[in-house]
Chains A and B, each alone.
Chain A
Amino acid sequence: MRSKRRTFLILCTLVLSVFLITILQSLLATLDSVSNKPTEGNRFVVRHKSGLTQFLPISYGDYLRQQPEVLAVANSQWFGGYYQDPKNFFANFANDETTMFEVFADRITGLTEPEIKEYQRDGKGCIVGQILADKYGWKVGDTIPLTGTIFPMSPRLTIRGIFKGRTASEENTLYFHYKLLEEGVGFMKGKTGAFWLKTKTSDDIPRVANRIDTHFSNSPVETMSEAENAFYLTFVKMLGNIGAIIHGVTIAVLIAITIVTVGTMSMAIKERTTEIAVLRAMGFSSSRVLFLLMAEGLLLVTLGGAMGIGLASLVAKILREILGSALIFLQDFHLANETILLCMGMALVIGFISTIIPALAATRKSIVEGLRAL
């Protein structure tokens, strides 16, 4: 391209477009991976039908435990505390300190039997994920203050174990005793945000879930049973149909960038009509000139695409670090290889379409006509 300013501007447009598409598609892929992740633990959640800000009576747990398909029940509450400074925000839950190890056996690993026992013994104990411990330099035996943001309570917890998880989000979590929350917050006495249930098989889940919701229907506190990942996505769903929005924006960006690139490449090739004619007069065949023009167009979009993906990767890392502790699904936010390939492929298709049309027109034009185009 002859105009440096135009090249710079089209490159910026490509970078920003590919960046936007990559980030949005990665967000969608991350959400999909959360919702499609198999529930290895055969788990599901029972919560208040009205929403996540309402509580269930702890006594509901008795009925849940009576179900023949249910192996374990753990009541759990999102605490929403931070460590020392509000920016040090991460996932922290008050959980049943005994059954949680059975319900979350796949999520909480690497703890020794003595560590588990020590945690269960110490009512002010907690266990933390490896990533969290590494981030703040915590070790077993350290006492850490946790300041509540939802509940008027700021417990000082002693780390009794550092566990491993399957994902970054799982290792970025802290658990402490449910009883401590009940004792510290008067209005939480006898209440819980949710019950986590582990069944014998995943096939049991729909049947048991339906039975539980039917049992509590028409009661003052009705339940909503849902699969683990659906539960996580409840937060996201509150924002609307994310998938449709992301696809809509992606298509709009694709159309816009295609129009801009077609216009730019047409102009760039048209202004070189005479040069193309001179090259062909010198003996460059039409196919060779077409190849050169295509290579130029594809090089430009490849460069723009690579820079856009690089920028998206950087932003994904920043988002993960800044928002990952607040938005649990963002803790695993990354650019999947499939997404990178998809976005790069889209950039190349745009480059191909936008170059082939004016390039074919230029190489099909007669040399004599091209030489006259001054």
Chain B
Amino acid sequence: MNQNAAPIIHIQNLAKSYFRETLEIPVLQGLDLDIPSGGFYALMGPSGSGKTTLLNLIAGIDRPTGGLLEVCGSNLNQLDDDELASWRNQNVGFIFQNYNLIPVLNAFENIELPLLLTSLTRAQRKEKVEEALTLTNLMDRRENYPRQLSGGQEQRVAIARAIVSNPKLLVADEPTGALDAKNADEILEMMQRLNEEFGKTILIVTHDPKAANFARHQVHLEKGVLDKTVEVNR
């Protein structure tokens, strides 16, 4: 990874508050952070430190109350809801703790979902889904429904769905939180491979120091403020 590459995520003086009636509850305050393209960052911190909120803001599923937020070359504050939806489709792949697969769709159909928003033909979509299935070692499970898969396989389907549209950025909120140690390692190794071999920028939120060690950098948050950024020695 070239540390001097232009940042894919550029954050300046970022603030986010929630409002309970008239009461303002600040979650993030004055946060500055640059993440270069091709980086693998783990966001860490105690509960309530604002790491998931930061991930949501970077992924464009929440809006900041102040500051500058540039991701994948777009100032997210300037995009309206529809533009932001389209931006997410083109730039961000999501991996959730509970996989969040659609139960009535099989693995192939779940992975195909983001491609339905593109102008790709059926044959092109099939090709891309099969690439993603191969990459995640799921070709033999393509017809299986989520209920027929193990937790680890479900998360691999979720990863395949996240990468199928070839986004620049992958965001994962506690991606191994629901997995046993063996499956967790497999998933993290897969993410590491996506970062190293395919140059994906990856941002994960985790409580688990072992999981965070798969990343190249760890960003520690404390009460909504950036505490420190640590490079991981592997």
Pair B85/A280 contact, Cβ less than 8 Å: yes
- Which of chain B's residues have a CB closer than 8 A to the CB of A367? 56, 61-62
Shortest B206–chain A CB gap in Å is 17
Asked if B88 lies at the interface with its beta carbon under 8 angstroms from chain A, I say yes
- Which of chain A's residues have a CB closer than 8 A to the CB of B113? 279, 282
Asked if A295 lies at the interface with its beta carbon under 8 angstroms from chain B, I say no
Pair B94/A278 contact, Cβ less than 8 Å: yes
Closest to B114 in A: A282
Q: Assign chain A's interface to a size class.
A: 10 to 19
Chain B 42-75 per-residue mask, 1 if CB under 8 angstroms from chain A, else 0: 0000000000000010010110000000000000
**Considering the complex, which residues of chain B in the window 71-109 have a beta carbon less than 8 Å from any beta carbon of chain A?**
81-82, 85-90, 94, 96, 98, 100, 102-104
Number of interface residues of B (CB under 8 A): 23
Shortest A367–chain B CB gap in Å is 4
Closest to B88 in A: A283
Residues A282 and B88 in contact in the complex (CB < 8 Å), given A2-B104, A275-B100, A371-B96: yes
Asked if B149 lies at the interface with its beta carbon under 8 angstroms from chain A, I say no
Interface pick from A26-34, A168-176, A284-292, A299-307: A284-292
Pair A281/B62 contact, Cβ less than 8 Å: no
Asked if A366 lies at the interface with its beta carbon under 8 angstroms from chain B, I say yes
- Which of chain B's residues have a CB closer than 8 A to the CB of A274? 100
Asked if A368 lies at the interface with its beta carbon under 8 angstroms from chain B, I say yes
Asked if A374 lies at the interface with its beta carbon under 8 angstroms from chain B, I say yes
Asked if B6 lies at the interface with its beta carbon under 8 angstroms from chain A, I say no
- Among B56, B85, B96, B161, the residue within 8 A (CB) of A368 is B56
Tell me the bound Cα distance from A187 to B61 in angstroms. 91
Asked if B117 lies at the interface with its beta carbon under 8 angstroms from chain A, I say yes
Tell me the bound Cα distance from A374 to B100 in angstroms. 10
Tell me the bound Cα distance from A367 to B56 in angstroms. 9
- Which of chain A's residues have a CB closer than 8 A to the CB of B81? 285-286
Residues A281 and B103 in contact in the complex (CB < 8 Å), given A366-B62, A367-B62, A374-B98: no
Tell me the bound Cα distance from A283 to B81 in angstroms. 10
Shortest A287–chain B CB gap in Å is 7
Pair A2/B88 contact, Cβ less than 8 Å: no
Pair B96/A283 contact, Cβ less than 8 Å: no
Chain A 107-146 per-residue mask, 1 if CB under 8 angstroms from chain B, else 0: 0000000000000000000000000000000000000000
Tell me the bound Cα distance from A34 to B20 in angstroms. 65
- Among A2, A284, A287, A371, the residue within 8 A (CB) of B103 is A2
Shortest A373–chain B CB gap in Å is 11
Pair B90/A283 contact, Cβ less than 8 Å: yes
Chain A 361-374 per-residue mask, 1 if CB under 8 angstroms from chain B, else 0: 00000111001001
Pair B98/A281 contact, Cβ less than 8 Å: no
- Among A282, A285, A286, the residue within 8 A (CB) of B94 is A282
Residues A278 and B114 in contact in the complex (CB < 8 Å), given A286-B81, A366-B62: no
Pair A282/B96 contact, Cβ less than 8 Å: no
Chain B 25-46 per-residue mask, 1 if CB under 8 angstroms from chain A, else 0: 0000000000000000000000
Pair A368/B62 contact, Cβ less than 8 Å: yes
Shortest A293–chain B CB gap in Å is 14
- Which of chain B's residues have a CB closer than 8 A to the CB of A371? 61, 96, 100
- Which of chain A's residues have a CB closer than 8 A to the CB of B114? 282-283
Pair A281/B117 contact, Cβ less than 8 Å: no
- Which of chain A's residues have a CB closer than 8 A to the CB of B94? 278, 281-282
Shortest A185–chain B CB gap in Å is 72
B-to-A contact residues, CB < 8 Å: 56, 59, 61-62, 81-82, 85-90, 94, 96, 98, 100, 102-104, 113-114, 117, 161
A-to-B contact residues, CB < 8 Å: 2, 274-275, 278-288, 366-368, 371, 374
12 of the cross-chain contacts (CB-CB < 8 Å) are A279-B113, A282-B89, A282-B113, A283-B85, A283-B86, A284-B85, A285-B85, A286-B81, A286-B85, A366-B61, A368-B61, A371-B96
User: Apart from A283-B89, A368-B61, A371-B61, what are 10 other A-B pairs with CB-CB below 8 Å?
Assistant: A278-B94, A282-B113, A282-B114, A283-B85, A283-B86, A283-B114, A285-B86, A286-B82, A367-B61, A368-B62
